[in-house]
Amino acid sequence: MRAFKRLLSNVGIVAVAATVGFAGVFGLSGDEPFAGQAFSTLAGECNIKGNISIGSGERIYHVPGQRYYAETKIRPEYGERWFCSEAEARQAGWRRSRV
């Protein structure tokens, strides 16, 4: 268990590095509130999927139980991410999926 906690801590450190100056390495702009997100996602706390539409570039989030939730894949290299609440997703400029 101690090794697992250390791994999660290291992931958080990498996420902070991505946020404060090494963001290009991870395909991020550096504006994303990413640091706490990596830990929370790995711990299973954040289950809202922030997806970017290929056709329109629109930022759409999906919550568990919605039609396309299970098949939606999150690809951080394209700016997609996980959210811990709908309020967090809306505040970041994403809209809820209509289906």
pTM for the whole thing? 0.57
By the 8 A CB rule, do 12 and 49 touch? no
The residue extents of the domains of the chain are: 1-39, 46-99
By the 8 A CB rule, do 47 and 72 touch? no
**pLDDT tens sequence across 8-28:** 444 443 443 344 344 444 554
Opening angle at CA 18, ends 17 and 21, nearest 5: 75
pLDDT at 5: 47
By the 8 A CB rule, do 12 and 38 touch? yes
